[in-house]
Amino acid sequence: MGTRPWIVDDELWALIEPLLPPWPERLPGPRPVSDRLCLQGILFVLYNDIAWQLLPLELGFGSGQTCWRRLDRWQKEGVFDRLHRTLLAELNAAGELDWSRACVDGPHPREKGGPDTGSSPVDRRKTGSKHHLICDGRGTPLKVITTATNVNDVPLTLALVDGVPPVASRPGRPRRRPEALLGDKGYDSNPNREELRKRRILPVISRKGCPNIKGLGKLRYVVEQTFALLHHFKRLAVRWERRTELHDALISLACSLICYRRLKRAAAP
């Protein structure tokens, strides 16, 4: 996406534009800022972690409030989740998704307040939120869930697995289940292992009090890489959005951009 990553190129816009809700034919007042420019303003905030009101007007994105309202509208319409599913389907069609295994993990960013926050397990004076992530064997993000920092990883295991959207674009039924799920000792749970087997997923999860499964770390490193990619978007490294649904909108957008880069890399000669 060049040296200015917030610029939306024509190929990405061709994927996003059909997903956006149409504007009413007649609106009172001045002509609204174009959707493409508003999206670039949202990306500017996502990459640079500036307050919405500090969005530079000279870049032509409109005010931060304009971009924030457009983000809210698009999230309510499910635009970002649909974009993520579309790009996953494109990657699947190109053979770039590894369904042989999936990995789960859950580091956390900090946040000052708002819903889905809780006391940090390392400093109970501070509140925070936590990202729970499941990715495929190559580190492509499939689903991210935001919770309070003090929420245990174990109850989120099945929610992550069941939250993977059905991915089509290959012969047969849409795919949504990996063959195996890899997790560290934080996901140790016999009931979850039983539920994963019912879903025809092999649980490869280290047990507490026992040595780690040999070679598991070498297979799970991709999830750490994916978290690094997500938190490269500075707006996600420290959560500032008080409304969880808007924070989740930015997460879905970031996941889509990661998928888009991988799709372009796969298509490159």
Q: Is pLDDT above 50 for 123? A: no
The string of pLDDT tens digits covering residues 54-105 is: 998 888 888 889 999 999 999 999 999 999 999 999 999 999 999 999 999 8
Q: Which two tokens stand for residue 185?
A: 């000792």
What are the beta bridge partners of residue 133?
Answer: 105, 144
CA proximity to 175, closest of 253, 95, 230: 95
Residue 132 pLDDT exceeds 70 = yes
**Least confidently predicted of 111-115, 149-153, 176-180:** 111-115
| pLDDT number for residue 260 | 96
* The pairing of beta strand 141-148 with beta strand 202-205: unpaired
pTM for the full predicted model = 0.87
**Residues 137, 98: contact at Cβ < 8 Å?**
yes
Nearest to 107 by CA among 77, 130, 78, 124: 130
Output the pLDDT for position 2: 47
Question: Residue 197 contacts by C-beta under 8 Å, 6 or more apart in sequence?
Answer: 203
Q: Residue 87 in contact with residue 260, Cβ under 8 Å?
A: yes
Which residues lie closer than 8 Å to 218 by C-beta, 6 or more apart?
none
Ordered structural domains, the chain, with CATH: 98-239 (3.30.420)
How far is 154 from 137, CA to CA, in rounded Å? 20
Pairing of strands 180-183, 202-205: parallel
pLDDT digits (tens, 9 = 90+) for 190-236: 999 999 999 999 999 888 877 667 667 777 889 889 999 998 999 99
Is 118 within 8 Å of 149 (Cβ atoms)?
yes
Among 231, 88, 241, CA closest to 170 = 88
Is residue 109 scored above 80 in pLDDT? Answer: no
Q: What is the reported pLDDT for 61?
A: 87
Q: Report which of 144, 134, 66 is spatially closest to residue 99, judged by C-alpha positions.
A: 134
Which pLDDT tens digit goes with each residue over 12-43? 999 999 999 987 766 666 668 899 999 999 99
Alpha carbons 4 and 44: distance in angstroms, whole number: 9
